[in-house]
Structure 1
Amino acid sequence: MGKPIVAVVGRPNVGKSTFFNKIAGRRIAIVEDEPGVTRDRIYTEVEWLNHKFTLIDTGGIEPESEEIIPAQMRRQAELAIETANVIVFLVDGREGLISSDREIADMLRKSKKPVLLVLNKVDTKEQSPHYFDFYELGIGDPIEISSALGLGIGDLLDEVVKNFPNEEAEDYDEDVIKVAVIGKPNVGKSSIINKVLGEDRVIVSDIAGTTRDAIDTPFTDGEDQYVFIDTAGIRRKSKIKEHVERYSVIRSLSAVERADVCLLIIDAEEGVTEQDKKIAGFSHENGKGLIIVINKWDLIEKETNTMNQFIKSVRTELAYCEYAPIVFVSALTGQRLNKILDKIKFVANQHAMRVPTGALNEVIGEAMLLNQPPSDKGKRLKIFYATQAAVKPPTFVLFINDKELMHFSYQRYIENRIRENFGFEGTPIRFINREKTGGEK
């Protein structure tokens, strides 16, 4: 499954954003003393004691308010609660227990999720005078911290990771090819899945954002097993009007983490947008296989070089994903959709491919003869030996004399030579440069 999700909830102005920023290690959320400033849930990736998880900061819950923004914030927090594995319920240790805390506690108890009650703003080693009042909430022993000073944060995170699911195993067998269908809203993700499957298993609507959650659709094609993970469209933050879509973004990112191959669906009429670049970047950074699917190609007026020009434009805009094959389709007419499954299977195999060590070193040795490694102040880069350390994505360890001499451009050259000889189409390649100890430098 994807990484565990931890939601930080509580009424406004109890210090959620300060807490979030302290754990994230950088100032992400807006921090002000005015209640309700943090209206957007923000999430970040966190690691503690070798446990990686996603931390969500929510807007404050105001249970009794029916004003539009507080009501949206409440719904946003409810959605965070629904998707979280662990909930951190932050209260104000200086102000003490108030009625809003009681109502939020009622919401949290109904969630049936692990809840940690955290008294924030306890800035001294003395226990909060309100400490025992919070037992009334029936959530367990309060944990005292000071987000501003960093007191008690480590002990709290220890408790957080103790409540993660014991098994983080995949739902599916290793030979099942997991495909995340990603892209902005309303580019035809669900329609493409339906056409490929040959039946309407996923709801399709012209209303952007219909697919709220990631929906898994397992199926077989001959002897091959697949699961399509259909994600909610990922919108640019400034365009997200509905708070429910922010929750969908988290599910979408989790879907990418679970996948072997990502299908990035791009609207042919719009071309590659800034948001498409960010979505492709997320797949690339997570080391996933990637296929770029240009949908609605039937709506484009064609001339002699229309497709070639479009490919050139995509390659320019998504330069870091040069390895990704591009497929032009129409979900409406079914044009070229029959090629998608074959392409997915091919990219999945490339993503999991391992090359023999002897052949790998032969290619790298030849590459160094054709293009001498860079040097600096009379010292030249030497690659003594290479081996493939992992797959999904293919990862190579280069044993070299000096990491400082390995320029990005030369590593890119080595990558290109590996691709020319072995393929690896559709998958990013990772390199680990390791200085060889005890030998010549």
Structure 2
Amino acid sequence: MQKVILIGRPNVGKSSLFNRLARERIAITSDVSGTTRDTNKTEIEIFDRSCILIDSGGLDESNELFKNVQAKTLEEARNSDIILFMVDGKMMPQDEDKRILYSLMKLDKPIALIINKVDNEKDELRSFEFNEFGIQDMFLISVSHNTGIEDLLKFIYPHLKDELKPDEEETLDDFLENLSEDGEFKDNEDYENKPIEVGIIGRVNVGKSSLLNALVKEKRSVVSSIAGTTIDPVNESYIYEDRVFEFVDTAGIRKRGRIEGIERFALNRTEKVLEKSDITLLVLDSSEPLTELDERIAGLADKFKLGIIIVLNKWENKTEQDYKEACKEIRDKFKFLSYAPIITVSALMGKRVHKIYSLILEVYNNYTKKIQTSKLNEFIKEVTITHPIPHDKGKLVKIYYAVQFGVAPPKIALIMNRPKTLHFSYKRYLINKIREKFNLEGTPIVVIPKNRGKDEEEK
């Protein structure tokens, strides 16, 4: 498992960020410089990917003890995969920080400069002085106010696992070499007539089985107040507007420490269901606060790149204000599913369940949508003029053209001169703009920067 290390001089907030990312108080924090001397390690999840997070001792050579701590910290950095170098945003840039950062950059690993304690506008203005460090990936955060953390996680995420698997890389290369004469993507799959596979997922006892029964209009799943009633996936077909929906009610998922016996098989079966699904209904219990487990389950939909609809169940006697607050909480917690529509239902009472059918069709159409190449390129040209691609160390980064090479979900290749330098934040900007322009609500969009030729050097 890959290792992510927090490194920096004493009292910059490494242990506080460690606790924040671990979501529990593991490391001792205090205002006393050098509180952390040994390294703390814990496994964390960033969206749907796991890694080992390391909180290191502060880099300080003021006495023999701290010199030993520093030596151990630097050794841990050499053995880590991703380095997060933290500085104190309340202070002006220090020459010592610059020296340490440059030495870490020589390790040739993904590295980010984290400016902590940026609590107000004055701090933010001061932080711009750190531009002199010349590092591309720089993040302003405040651990105490929990701001800027999301962008940091999105920096780490793509480094934890290659975005393209070998077989996907081969598929992309084959496609680009065999474009049709009009430059359009063609797929032999009959998406307009095949059954739409819909997996129903969520924590135990959120009402998934009741929802399935309401959707197929019969008591197909056993329903009870006992958590974990459903173990085997339950399949049922339903026809709506001449389209066949294949619903699958999966077993409710518990916290890892509470998964016992046969439920371990149920969890594995849930993942196998999602591997075959097109759309997932993420069921949440509106009568309870969202939990970390809800976030983890939501990550499964992201992991398998499925179309997704968030279903707020048990929505009885709620107000418009309740709806606004619930949506805000969901958007705050599930930022990586910002594209997912939210619908409120009462599966037990059968209220608004019928609206899910048309929503599934809409999301599925977006999930399998083919974008005309000429329109895609006109739009890419337009948005890159409005918001130019940042240069890479003074060198121009440009997109020659864009082409869709897959659906379910839509997959778009950006043929570029320097694909490895396209920052994740700019890619996110392009994805958001593409979704808005071509109406791709409810579906993830895969955007892959690619050299014009397999062996072409970046210029």
Matches within 5 A, 1:140-155: none
Q: How far, CA to CA, are the matches of 2:204 and 2:247 in structure 1? A: 17
CA-based RMSD of the aligned residues comes to 2.1
Partner of residue 383, structure 2: 367
- SS in structure 2 of the partner of residue 412 of structure 1: helix
Partner of residue 223, structure 1: 242
Residue 408 of structure 2, aligned match among 392, 410, 415: 392
Q: How far, CA to CA, are the matches of 1:193 and 1:215 in structure 2? A: 9
Question: Per-residue displacement from partner, 1:122-141 (whole Å, max 9, x unpaired)?
Answer: xxxxxxxxxxxxxxxxxxxx
Residue 337 of structure 1, aligned match among 347, 353, 378: 353
Residue 194 of structure 1, aligned match among 174, 194, 213: 213
Letter in 2 for 1:417: K
Shift of 1:440: 8.5
Partner of residue 298, structure 1: 316
Q: How far, CA to CA, are the matches of 1:238 and 1:393 in structure 2? A: 33
**1:287 partnered with 2:305:** yes
Residue 212 of structure 1, aligned match among 231, 238, 243: 231
Letter in 1 for 2:427: Q
- SS in structure 2 of the partner of residue 419 of structure 1: helix
Shift of 1:207: 1.2
Partner of residue 245, structure 1: 263
The answer (yes or no) to whether the contact 2:193–2:243 under 8 Å persists in 1 is: no
Runs of 4+ in structure 1 off by over 4 angstroms are: none
CA distance 1:350–1:201, shift in 2 (3 Å)? same
Q: How far, CA to CA, are the matches of 1:222 and 1:356 in structure 2? A: 27
**1:265 partnered with 2:283:** yes
The answer (yes or no) to whether the contact 1:175–1:225 under 8 Å persists in 2 is: yes
Partner of residue 405, structure 1: 421
The answer (yes or no) to whether the contact 2:312–2:345 under 8 Å persists in 1 is: yes
Shift of 1:439: 9.1
Question: Per-residue displacement from partner, 1:111-165 (whole Å, max 9, x unpaired)?
Answer: xxxxxxxxxxxxxxxxxxxxxxxxxxxxxxxxxxxxxxxxxxxxxxxxxxxxxxx
The answer (yes or no) to whether the contact 1:347–1:425 under 8 Å persists in 2 is: yes
The answer (yes or no) to whether the contact 2:209–2:221 under 8 Å persists in 1 is: yes
The answer (yes or no) to whether the contact 1:178–1:228 under 8 Å persists in 2 is: yes
Structure 2 portions without partners, runs of 5+: 1-48, 50-188
Q: How far, CA to CA, are the matches of 1:254 and 1:271 in structure 2? A: 28
**1:185 partnered with 2:240:** no
* Count of residues in Structure 1 that have an aligned counterpart in Structure 2: 269
Shift of 1:173: 10
The share of aligned pairs that are identical, in percent, is 41
- SS in structure 2 of the partner of residue 431 of structure 1: strand
The answer (yes or no) to whether the contact 1:231–1:252 under 8 Å persists in 2 is: yes
Shift of 1:420: 1.4
Partner of residue 325, structure 2: 309
Provide TM-score, normalisation by structure 1: 0.59
Provide TM-score, normalisation by structure 2: 0.56
The answer (yes or no) to whether the contact 1:182–1:233 under 8 Å persists in 2 is: yes
The answer (yes or no) to whether the contact 2:286–2:315 under 8 Å persists in 1 is: yes
The answer (yes or no) to whether the contact 1:269–1:299 under 8 Å persists in 2 is: no
Shift of 1:307: 0.9
